[in-house]
Amino acid sequence: MDPVIEPYRADVPQAALDDLRARLDNTRWPDRETVDDWAQGPPLERMRELCRYWAHGYDWKATEERLNAFPQFTTEIGGLRVHFLHARSPHPGARPLLLTHGWPSSVVEFLDLIPRLTHPDDPADAFDVICPTLPGHGLGDRPVEAGWTVDRVARTWAELMARLGADQYLAHGGDWGSWVSAALGAVDREHVRGIHLSMPLARPPEREIELDERDQRAMARMRSFGKDRSGYAAIQSTRPQALGYGFADSPAAQLAWIIDRFWAWADHDGELEKAIPRDRLLDIVSMYWFGNTGASSARLFWESFDKEPMHRTDVPTGCSVFPKDAWLPRAWARERFTDLRYWRDLPDGGHFPALERPEVLAAELRTFSRALG
């Protein structure tokens, strides 16, 4: 390994755990919502119960053990200390696979997925898995200057993969991970063997394109998102610092902001914790709390949301689209991804497939990898 790559272990001090518990126990609560559902955000009694469990039932140290079971490292690139997991397969010839998480998420999203990729039933399907932490989202550094756009993150990931000696690799992502993986296909096309996306993104084509019935439904979902559910993005892309004061001071505020997105985007029938267990939800929120990354993670929206050019990508591309995340017309995707090798609309699942359907996502990644030959 390159000498600038250093081993890392997560180790939140007891004082930080005690501080979290005290803040949760002393939360100042708002009035109860005036509706009987989530139309105004997370219901008060649900938040009270979750905060009680976070303070007195949830075990962060158990999550640290799960995280530290995988080799972790840091390396400085572009003045920023980048944190990443690097889980090697025992099978020779395993393909390097770069997994990029999104918001609100972190590398802990992938902990159940990684063993399925590194230790498959068929050794020919094995991957060496690299999971970097998005700048300002978890265990790495928080940027102290503007300019950390999607494009800059993609170029940083390209440098990381070069340091790891990955001459040819695959890249997968959802949410911001889709943005970054697609950008990698443009900025590091000599080394990216293919990109796989669970949330493909594309601008409206300049020419008129006929949409089939599936694409019409996707357009309807897109319009619904823009009208009813994009308030979080509007705020984070314009006033991230204003939000940051609340997130840095109140774990209940950070929890409410994140759990609201899981409620909206995961595939569930009114019982979120059947789709994503409560401890796994709190793993995500705890990463943001202990890293104090509420403001810094929101700044990626300020840097790139509605600003990323979404350049045409010519590398082989595969898309596995889950129904609670299916809002892009395939016809639009074909205009951006000129070598679209694989597309599958899954029967169930949402925005967080590595948490909701890890076995399905692993199978989809294997199928796409095989399609590349």
DSSP lists the bridge partners of residue 319 as: 197, 343
Structure confidence at residue 218 (pLDDT)? 85
Joined tokens for residue 289: 């709390």
- What angle is formed at CA 349 by the lines to CA 111 and CA 131, rounded to 5 degrees? 25
Count of domains in the chain?
Answer: 1
Q: Is 27 part of a structural domain of the chain?
A: yes
- SS3 category, 340: strand
Q: State pLDDT tens for residues 27-53.
A: 999 999 999 999 999 999 999 999 999
3-state SS of 22-33 is HHHHCCCCCCCC
Tell me, yes or no, whether 348 lies in a domain: yes
pLDDT in tens, 309-363: 888 999 999 999 999 987 889 999 999 999 999 999 999 999 999 999 999 999 9
Residue 176's identity, in one-letter code, is W
Using pLDDT thresholds of 50, 70 and 90, give the confidence band for residue 156.
very high
277 located within any domain: yes
What is the C-alpha separation between 185 and 105, in angstroms, rounded?
Answer: 22
Tokens coding 23? 């803040």
CATH number at residue 178: 3.40.50.1820
R_g of the chain, CA atoms, integer Å: 20
For residue range 205-241, what is the model confidence (pLDDT) as tens digits? Answer: 888 888 888 888 888 887 776 655 578 999 999 999 9
113 assigned to some structural domain: yes
**Rounded CA gap, 107 and 85, in Å?**
8
Residue 241, domain member (yes or no): yes
242-283 per-position pLDDT tens digit: 999 999 999 999 999 999 999 999 999 999 999 999 999 999
Cβ-proximal residues to 125 (8 Å cutoff; 6+ apart), any chain: 366, 369, 370
Is 273 among the domain residues? yes
* Residue 143 forms part of a structural domain: yes
Residues near 117 by beta carbon (within 8 Å), at least 6 away in sequence? 87, 89, 97, 126, 127, 129, 362, 365
Residue 271 located in a structural domain:
yes
Residues in contact with 179: Cβ distance below 8 Å, sequence separation at least 6, in sequence order: 150, 173, 201, 304, 308
State how far the Cα of 247 lies from the Cα of 313, in Å rounded to an integer. 36
Mean pLDDT on 176-199: 97
pTM, to two decimals: 0.96
- Residue 19 sits in which domain range? 6-371
Stronger pLDDT, 228 or 90, i.e. the higher one? 90
Taking residues 127-136, report their average pLDDT.
Answer: 98
End-to-end alpha-carbon separation of the chain, Å?
28
